[in-house]
């Protein structure tokens, strides 16, 4: 077995992969197509600052591109407009990244062109919404720095970003089925900001979305898991989109570390450190340990 060592800077904080087969080649644009025998991974990193144990870190404005074709492996880089906090793939096989400035960016598997697709920064939208509505979560916005995103995922025709005290949903506007055409925050597709909790000590820690993009669950540091239903239209306008909370119950004694859905159902699993995974039906609400 041959081992290849390729250097990169920092710790990996987000990674997406395309396996080497024809099923993953984009059907929407020739520019993003790769040879069917070539696999590719894209990842972003951050670096620790200092050696005094303060655990501070800064994200790198570099997108790493790892290619493998048989036994040949190579690593290259693309400069990013800014450092990124998260990276995901969408149903149409495009790549969405969340910048540290709160903007969303899109690219394809070639990772050569990075396009900003958000009209407004999510950080600005959170602050403006909190100030306009005077929601309780606005009192917990850091005065000296922007809130750090916990996780990012996809919903039906939308991207969701979880912050410690807010859930932010960014519906796509326009033809979201074609590469580099989806826009976030455009006319008719307002960004939805919903406070996660009115309780200051209660901070969101984990996020998962169902495979059909219709349900999501959020866990927090008090062991509470909340489920939500995402309702939107199929006409690519998302003008009447809604996020409706279905349930909220304590499932663990302490921080929820991870959540995931079963591949083809609305049952989800919640995990706490050193505690077994639990399965719950999302549509009827979580019902406690099993």
> Computed from CA positions of residues 249, 251, 257, 259, in that sequence, does the dihedral angle turn out positive or negative?
negative
| Cβ-based burial of 32 (10 A; exposed 0-12, middle 13-18, buried ≥19) | buried
Question: DSSP class of residue 204?
Answer: E
Phi then psi for residue 274, to 5 deg, are: 65, 25
* C-alpha span between 123 and 132 (Å, rounded): 14
Residue 245 pLDDT > 90, yes or no? yes
Query: Which pLDDT score is estimated for 287?
Result: 37
* C-alpha span between 273 and 254 (Å, rounded): 9
Residue 285 pLDDT > 50, yes or no? no
Residue 58's DSSP bridge partners are 47
Phi then psi for residue 146, to 5 deg, are: -80, 150
- Could you tell me the pLDDT band of residue 281, with boundaries at 50, 70 and 90? confident
Residue 235 pLDDT > 70, yes or no? no
Query: Which pLDDT score is estimated for 67?
Result: 93
207's CB contacts (< 8 A; 6+ apart) are 150, 151, 152, 153, 160, 162, 216, 217, 218, 219, 259
Query: Which pLDDT score is estimated for 282?
Result: 75
Residue 139 pLDDT > 60, yes or no? no
* C-alpha span between 195 and 186 (Å, rounded): 22
Residue 26 pLDDT > 60, yes or no? no
Mean per-residue pLDDT, 14-32: 64
127: helix, coil or strand? helix
> CB of 199 within 8 A of CB of 258?
no
Residue 121 pLDDT > 70, yes or no? yes
Q: Which helix (H) or strand (E) holds 132?
A: helix 122-133
Please tell me which of 102-106, 125-129, 145-149 the model is most confident about, judged by mean pLDDT: 102-106
Query: Which pLDDT score is estimated for 30?
Result: 44
> Computed from CA positions of residues 82, 84, 87, 90, in that sequence, does the dihedral angle turn out positive or negative?
negative
* C-alpha span between 132 and 110 (Å, rounded): 41
> CB of 150 within 8 A of CB of 166?
no
The structure tokens 């993009």 sit at 213
Q: Where in the chain is the domain with CATH 2.130.10.10?
A: 117-290
| Cβ-based burial of 49 (10 A; exposed 0-12, middle 13-18, buried ≥19) | exposed
Residue 65's DSSP bridge partners are 42, 76
CATH among 3.40.30.10, 3.30.40.10, 3.30.420.40, 2.130.10.10 for 117-290: 2.130.10.10
Give me the percent of the chain exceeding a pLDDT of 70: 73
Sheet holding 267-272, edge to edge: 258-261, 267-272, 275-281
Query: Which pLDDT score is estimated for 51?
Result: 46
> CB of 34 within 8 A of CB of 40?
yes
* C-alpha span between 207 and 218 (Å, rounded): 5
Name the region of 285 (left: φ>0; alpha: ψ -120 to 50; beta: rest).
Answer: left
| Least trusted range by pLDDT, from 27-36, 97-106, 225-234, 251-260 | 27-36
| Least trusted range by pLDDT, from 3-12, 42-51, 219-228 | 42-51
């Amino acid at each position: 077995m041959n081992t290849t060592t390729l250097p990169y800077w920092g710790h990996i904080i987000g990674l997406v992969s395309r396996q080497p087969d024809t099923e993953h080649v984009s059907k929407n644009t020739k520019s993003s197509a790769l040879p069917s025998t070539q696999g590719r991974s894209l990842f972003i990193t951050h670096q620790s600052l200092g050696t005094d144990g303060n655990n501070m870190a800064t994200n790198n404005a570099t997108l790493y591109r790892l290619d493998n074709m048989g036994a040949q492996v190579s690593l290259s880089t693309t400069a990013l407009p800014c450092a990124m906090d998260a990276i995901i793939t969408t149903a149409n096989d495009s790549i969405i990244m969340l910048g540290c400035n709160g903007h969303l960016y899109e690219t394809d598997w070639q990772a050569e062109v990075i396009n900003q697709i958000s009209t407004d920064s999510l950080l600005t939208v959170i602050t403006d919404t909190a100030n306009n509505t005077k929601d309780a979560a606005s009192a917990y916005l850091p005065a000296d720095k922007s809130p750090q995103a916990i996780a990012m995922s996809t919903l039906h025709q939308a991207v969701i970003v979880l912050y410690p005290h807010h859930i932010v949903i960014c519906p796509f506007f326009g033809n979201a089925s074609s590469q580099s055409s989806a826009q976030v925050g455009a006319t008719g597709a307002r960004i939805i900001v919903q406070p996660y909790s009115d309780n200051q000590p209660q901070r969101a820690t984990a996020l998962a979305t169902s495979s059909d993009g219709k349900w999501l669950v959020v866990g927090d540091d008090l062991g509470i898991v909340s489920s939500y239903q995402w309702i939107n239209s199929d006409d690519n306008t998302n003008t009447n989109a809604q996020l409706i909370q279905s349930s909220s119950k304590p499932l663990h004694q302490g921080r929820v570390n991870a959540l995931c859905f079963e591949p083809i159902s609305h049952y989800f699993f919640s995990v706490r450190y050193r505690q077994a995974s639990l399965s719950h039906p999302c549509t009827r609400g979580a019902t406690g340990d099993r």
